[in-house]
Amino acid sequence: MTAPVLNYAILAPILIVLGGALIGVLIEAFVAKKLRGRIQISVAALSLVAAFAQLIHVRFKTSTTAAIGSVTIDGAGIFLEGTILVLAFVGLMLIADTDNFTAQASAIPGSAEESAAIASGKQQTEIFPLTLFAVAGMLLFPLASDLITLFVALEMLSLPLYLMTGLSRRRRLLSQEAALKYFLLGAYSSAFFLFGSAFLYGYSGSLSLTNIAAAITGPGGNDVFLLLGIVFVAVGLLFKVGAVPFHSWTPDVYQGAPTPITGFMAACTKVAAFGATLRIFYVALDSAQWSWRPILTVIAIITMLFGAIAAIIQRDVKRMLAYSSITHAGFLLIGVISLNRPGLIASLFYLFVYGFATLGAFGIVTLVRDSSGEVTDINRWTGLAKKSPVIASLFALFLLSFGGIPLTAGFVGKFSIFTAAYSGGNTLVVIVGVLASAIALLFYLRVVLLLFFSEPTSESVSVVIPSLLTRIAIGISALVTVVLGIYPNLLINLVTSYSFFNR
Amino acid sequence: MSILTTLQLIPLIGSLVLIALPKENGKLAKQIALGISLVVLGAAIYMWTQFDTSSQALQFVEVRKWIDFFGINYAVGVDGMALVLILMTVILVPIVIVAGWNESEGGRWSVKTFYILMMVLETMMIGVFAATDLFLFYVIFEAMLLPVYFLIGGYGRGERAAAALKFLMYSLFGGLLMLAAVIGIYITAIGQIGGTFDIQKLSTLQIASSTQNWLFLGFFIAFAIKAPLWPFHTWLPSAAKSATPGTSILLLGVLDKVGTYGMIRFCMTLFPEATKTFTPYIIALAVISILYGAFLAIGQKDINSLIAFTSISHFGFITLGIFALTSQGLSGAILYMVNHGISTAALFMTAGWMVARRKSSQIADFGGLQRVTPILAWSFFIAGLSALALPGLSSFVSEFLVLLGSFAKYPVAAILGTTGIILAALYVLLVVQRSLHGETKPGNEALSDLNLREKLVIAPIIAMLVIFGFYPKPLVDVINPTSANVMSHAGVSDPVPTATSKAGK
């Protein structure tokens, strides 16, 4: 019996990030309080950079599977890994402002212990290893090519996120409530995913995506098992991407989580979850499209419309961005149901530019504060442009990119995804998508109106002077949004050469 | 590099220069902006002299790869129609800057920002007419809304923020419908000739008639909102009422022309079959616009809303001329676009001066200006006469051509349209009577007449109204080859007159 071949070189990006996380745990335990924060940031940043370097190193490796076929490295996988690492790196710059996180997570909100922790100036920094653990899970999720590995990766990325959601420094009860809600619903959806996996195993006798695909094209098999399997696996995935009707956690979690985490989660989780969704539906369930495409089409339509309409009535910036992310999940689902190469290209492009705009937007939310912390009530943002024209303009830029106004990267993303759907013969979703965009524009523009055309009131907020890292993070996001809007060639050619799945 | 690219680059670089200026020095910003716009004007006139009027082909063409993956190019080039519209644009910009020398002050933001927006807008206004790549056109078509949005919302009057939002939402909604149609035609192109957005190549496509109808509607509704045609016009009066006179001139004079321009360039050329299908309905909408705009103009109490409604009526005429599908109608419509730009500029400008002096835009507040401010009153009067298409002024030529061209095919529509002329006389002469004649109303006694700057800027406009009224040849020569080309693309020919033989019976 031969020893299993793991192919460490290909797995290395994930392993490096995991290693960094473990080192982070040790640092948290052993390094002096004063130095801890800085060392944690450096270790986290270094492991992300090292993982990215290794990823570039192995990007043309001929061997495409690792860990006995449970991980597939192909063009799309590499690109998704790269996107996650880059977004996580920028997200880390926002997270580095530890002022947003609770001094001591274990202290009960409002207790004497908590005030003591704050007074002593203690600052726990477990957020950094947690981030790395989540990133490792995210890297694995879109590469996993059997259902067990998918499930493990799903849990690996989710568990740290549940925890990170609860670490907000201010409004801790809200934060903890969000964490609990996220955890409970997340656990449910994981169970659904596992349940579906079991059905798919029952149908095909295998856990590997390739074998499931073969079983679908092959003779026999119990179609009821297949259908149930698809439905339950889809529920698990749709929960993660925040599609209607599995979206209800999104607004609460986005609102409750510390804002840098919200940005990180919104950007990176979307990439990882859509990466895995694309792989499952493109690779394993391609031949069964008759059974899932109509359902997903309906879900995409409802998701786009619901997100856009619900966002109109939001008064809280973070909740509004949450509903906006639901709308975008709908747009991205169009890429999934297109089920063609343009659809894959469009999805990869969209995920990249959406991720940056999201990080930038949440980065700005962290800056708008009053004496008691962040202010997310949109009515108190009125006239922000008068006080801080640059911040207001950048926020407007990100919103316009979300809205898909030409000369922003969001427009190119939207254009390519609609094109893919149209060429897949799905005219209906294009029309609904256009309508949803119009509705979504209404609330994006209302915010722009509020920022620029309203006089600041006495209630209005101020903008804190951003730390250097936050400034860089927002700057990079804005740059990506503008440059890829004007000259998308830079990314789209790269995406084109990487957009394939190995079956 | 094509001169069209240069034309776009000059104001763009100008806006960068303005950004570098200190905020306090508003006067310098104005002077620089004016200087730049004059340079652009000079360059455009040079382009006009180089234009070959005997050719139907696109001229000053430049094509560069932009987004390979979708086959998108940065492609510019002009035919006669695009040329005259670009000329009109670059003439209006310096005029607007001088006429509204002080309107950039007292806005929400600095004077400098006003001119940055203006320069960016000029770049895009040239680009939108020069683009020969559908995608490039679409991008500019949408992006140019933003500077206007900020110009209205930042420097306008009254309910400016709401008006700006209304304007933007209407336009963006139309734009999104068009996006779906743009994608539709692109996918069709992939199936037949490979992915391209080149307008000339796209016009060779064979599109099934049901698809054609849908795509046509996607484009047409976007352009009808822009133009604006009844019933898509509701954003215009509020925008015109709230915007500064300069912004209104550019909005109605240039931006709205993109709508009628697009109907010719895209609807007719790309979807000839659908054009014929929808023509009767569009003609009906055009006639309704003519009459509706005219009737509502009569009833307006606010002078800016009045001008806005007259424009709705005029856009009805332009649309009627376009969809009459005769070469006279088409040439008339294109000429009308230019003349309407000049005439509306004269109206908004003089009205703006009146409003600025009286600090009120209610027609009822004026009266007897003829005695107090004779030059201003005469200027407004002449501008009004050009709006009612008095023979001898340029708008008469185009209105006559439009009615002539449409009578050959749609006599009923033409006759109904002609009543629009009578209504035009009514709404113009009523406002002239109320504001210029009669007794000098209290509050008007001390109004000052035009100063040198204002005289300098109204003079060339009135000169253009008169010169092109008597001698439209320089414009018509440039326009005619285009309309012939469009006619042949749309697969229609002029009807042969049959009236004489019938009369003999």
d(CA A111, CA B164): 50
For residue A406, the Cα-to-chain-centroid distance in whole angstroms is 24
Measured in degrees and rounded to the nearest 5, phi and psi for residue A388 equal -135, 85
d(CA A107, CA A101): 13
d(CA B119, CA B117): 5
**B-interface mutation test, from A340, A400, A430, A453, most B Cβ less than 10 A away:** A453
DSSP A208: B
Of the candidates B69, B143, B161, which has its C-beta nearest A453's C-beta?
A: B161
CB atoms within 10 A of CB B453: 12
Task: Report the domain count for chain A.
Answer: 1
Residue of chain A minimizing CA distance to B107: A453
Measured in degrees and rounded to the nearest 5, phi and psi for residue B205 equal -65, 150
DSSP letter string, B217-244: HHHHHHHHHHTT-TTS-THHHHHHHHS-
Measured in degrees and rounded to the nearest 5, phi and psi for residue A462 equal -120, 170
As beta bridge partners, residue A208 has: A146
CB contact under 8 A, A441 and B153: no
Residue A207 host element (H or E):
none
As beta bridge partners, residue B72 has: B67
CB contact under 8 A, A430 and B67: no
Structural domain boundaries, residue A210: 8-498
Residues B330, B486: contact at Cβ < 8 Å?
yes
Q: Which residues contact B362 (CB under 8 A, 6 or more apart)?
A: B301, B302, B303
In a domain, B380, yes or no: yes
For A502, counting Cβ atoms within 10 Å of its Cβ (0-12 exposed, 13-18 middle, 19+ buried), the class is: middle
Averaged pLDDT for residues A213-240: 88
Residue B129 confidence (pLDDT): 93
CB contact under 8 A, A431 and B180: yes
Q: Does position A273 have pLDDT exceeding 60, yes or no?
A: yes
d(CA A109, CA A173): 7
Of the candidates A415, A434, A449, which has its C-beta nearest B177's C-beta?
A: A434
Of the candidates A407, A423, A430, which has its C-beta nearest B143's C-beta?
A: A407
d(CA A327, CA B146): 23
As beta bridge partners, residue A463 has: A368
Residue A408 host element (H or E):
none
Measured in degrees and rounded to the nearest 5, phi and psi for residue B385 equal -65, -35
d(CA B394, CA B472): 7
d(CA B435, CA B364): 7
Amino acid making up residue B363: I
N- to C-terminal Cα separation, chain B: 62
In a domain, B425, yes or no: yes
Residues A445, A378: contact at Cβ < 8 Å?
no
B408 three-class SS: coil
Residue B503 confidence (pLDDT): 45
Q: How far A471 CA sits from the closest chain B CA (Å)?
A: 22
d(CA B159, CA B242): 6
Q: How far B210 CA sits from the closest chain A CA (Å)?
A: 14
- DSSP H helices, A218-288, are 223-241, 249-256, 259-264, 270-279
Q: Does position A135 have pLDDT exceeding 50, yes or no?
A: yes
As beta bridge partners, residue B62 has: B76
Structural domain boundaries, residue B379: 276-494
CB contact under 8 A, A406 and B190: no
A424 near B CB under 8 A: no
A407 near B CB under 8 A: yes
Token reading at A423: 């060429």
B59 three-class SS: strand
Q: Does position A206 have pLDDT exceeding 50, yes or no?
A: yes
In a domain, B283, yes or no: yes
Residues of A in contact with B160 (CB under 8 A): 453
Q: How far B68 CA sits from the closest chain A CA (Å)?
A: 7
CB contact under 8 A, B153 and A434: no
CB contact under 8 A, B180 and A418: yes
Residue of chain A minimizing CA distance to B139: A406
pTM: 0.91
CB atoms within 10 A of CB B395: 28
More confident residue, A287 or A132: A132
> pLDDT per residue over A209-220, tens digit each?
988 998 888 877
Residues A3, A99: contact at Cβ < 8 Å?
no
CB contact under 8 A, A423 and B142: no
d(CA A480, CA A477): 5
Residues B315, B228: contact at Cβ < 8 Å?
yes
> pLDDT per residue over A474-491, tens digit each?
999 999 999 999 999 889
CB contact under 8 A, A419 and B186: yes
Amino acid making up residue A216: I
Residue B71: C-alpha distances to residues B3, B63, B67, B186, B195 (Å): 24, 12, 6, 10, 6
Q: Are strands A368-370 and A373-374 parallel, antiparallel or unpaired?
A: antiparallel
CB contact under 8 A, B143 and A496: no
CB contact under 8 A, A452 and B160: no
Residue B371 confidence (pLDDT): 80
**Residue at token pair 């004779």:** B374
CB contact under 8 A, B169 and A423: no
**A-interface mutation test, from B171, B179, B214, most A Cβ less than 10 A away:** B179
Of the candidates B142, B183, B186, which has its C-beta nearest A406's C-beta?
A: B142
> If pLDDT is split at 50, 70 and 90, which confidence band does A200 have?
very high
Q: What is the mean pLDDT, run by run of 10 residues, along chain B of 505 residues? A: 88 89 82 91 91 84 87 90 91 88 78 88 93 92 90 83 87 89 89 86 85 91 89 85 86 89 90 89 92 89 88 91 88 91 90 84 80 86 88 88 88 89 88 82 78 86 90 87 83 68 46
Residues of A in contact with B164 (CB under 8 A): 449, 453
B362 three-class SS: strand
Q: How far B362 CA sits from the closest chain A CA (Å)?
A: 25
d(CA B388, CA B425): 6
As beta bridge partners, residue A409 has: none
Task: Report the domain count for chain B.
Answer: 1
Amino acid making up residue B202: L
Of the candidates B172, B173, B187, which has its C-beta nearest A419's C-beta?
A: B187
B164 near A CB under 8 A: yes
Averaged pLDDT for residues A42-59: 92
Residue A291: C-alpha distances to residues A207, A301, B393 (Å): 20, 17, 68
N- to C-terminal Cα separation, chain A: 27
CB atoms within 10 A of CB B493: 11
Residue B38 confidence (pLDDT): 92
Residues A457, A382: contact at Cβ < 8 Å?
yes
CB contact under 8 A, A405 and B142: yes
CB contact under 8 A, B183 and A454: no
In a domain, A489, yes or no: yes
B233 near A CB under 8 A: no
- For B334: left if phi > 0, alpha if psi spans -120 to 50, otherwise beta; the answer is alpha
Residue B411: asked if its preceding bond is cis (omega within 30°), the reply is no
Average pLDDT, chain A: 89
- For A121: left if phi > 0, alpha if psi spans -120 to 50, otherwise beta; the answer is left
As beta bridge partners, residue A72 has: A65
In a domain, A164, yes or no: yes
B100 near A CB under 8 A: no
CB contact under 8 A, A405 and B183: no
d(CA B263, CA B342): 21
Residue A63 confidence (pLDDT): 65
- DSSP H helices, A366-408, are 384-387, 389-403
CB contact under 8 A, A496 and B69: yes
A405 near B CB under 8 A: yes
Residues of A in contact with B177 (CB under 8 A): 434
Least confident piece of the model among A420-424, A434-438, B155-159, B419-423: B155-159
Residue of chain B minimizing CA distance to A437: B176
A446 near B CB under 8 A: yes
CB contact under 8 A, A407 and B187: no
> If pLDDT is split at 50, 70 and 90, which confidence band does A460 have?
low
| A·B CB contacts under 8 A | 82
Token reading at B447: 């109004």
Task: Give me the residues of A, 330-389, that contact B with CB < 8 A.
Answer: 345
Token reading at A5: 């071949």
Residue B497 confidence (pLDDT): 61
B154 near A CB under 8 A: yes
Measured in degrees and rounded to the nearest 5, phi and psi for residue B447 equal -65, 145
For helices B111-130 and B145-155, give the axis angle rounded to 10 degrees: 150
Q: How far B473 CA sits from the closest chain A CA (Å)?
A: 39
Residue B243 confidence (pLDDT): 84
d(CA B310, CA B344): 9
